[in-house]
Structures are given as structure tokens and as C-alpha cells.
Amino acid sequence: MDESARGIATAALTLQSNLLNALIRKAVLTRVEALDIVDSSLRSAASQPDEAADIARICLEGLREGLVELTAHT
């Protein structure tokens, strides 16, 4: 994967992360529902053996850790 594709993938995952967090803040989604979405995405990324899936997995794992932290503090 070249740098442009890596940048696009990272930007897309950052946008999705921000959207999930905004939906949680607005009480449209619970943190548990957001975790389910992230877990589903992680399972999908795990089934793809390429570099894009690796980038997605790394970003999603970071998002999941943040959601778990937030859930533990509330």
C-alpha cells in the first residue's frame, strides 16, 4: 500500500471514530453499541490478509481501547 492509500485509510477510520464518539455524546448510541460496531469491524478486518486490513485493525483497536476506557469511567 502506498503512502496516499495509507493516508486515505487513516483519514477514513479517523472520521468513523469521530462519528461514533459524536453519536455517543448525543446519546444516539450507547458505548456498548459502539463497541459492538467496532468489534464487528475488527472481525471483518481480521478476515482480510492485506496491509489495508492491518491499518484498519490497528486504528480500530485504538478506538476500542478508548471506548472501553470511557465505559469503565462512567
Residues 18-52: tens digit of each pLDDT: 898 899 999 999 988 998 998 998 888 888 878 77
> Chain-wide mean pLDDT for the chain?
83
Structural domain count of the chain: 1
Torsion of CA 20, 22, 23, 26, to 10 degrees: 160
Quick one: pLDDT band at residue 74, thresholds 50, 70, 90? Answer: low
**pLDDT score recorded for residue 48:** 81
**pLDDT score recorded for residue 46:** 82
Task: Give yes or no for residue 1 having a pLDDT over 70.
Answer: no
- In terms of residue numbers, what domain contains 17? 3-72
In terms of pTM, does the model score above 0.95?
A: no
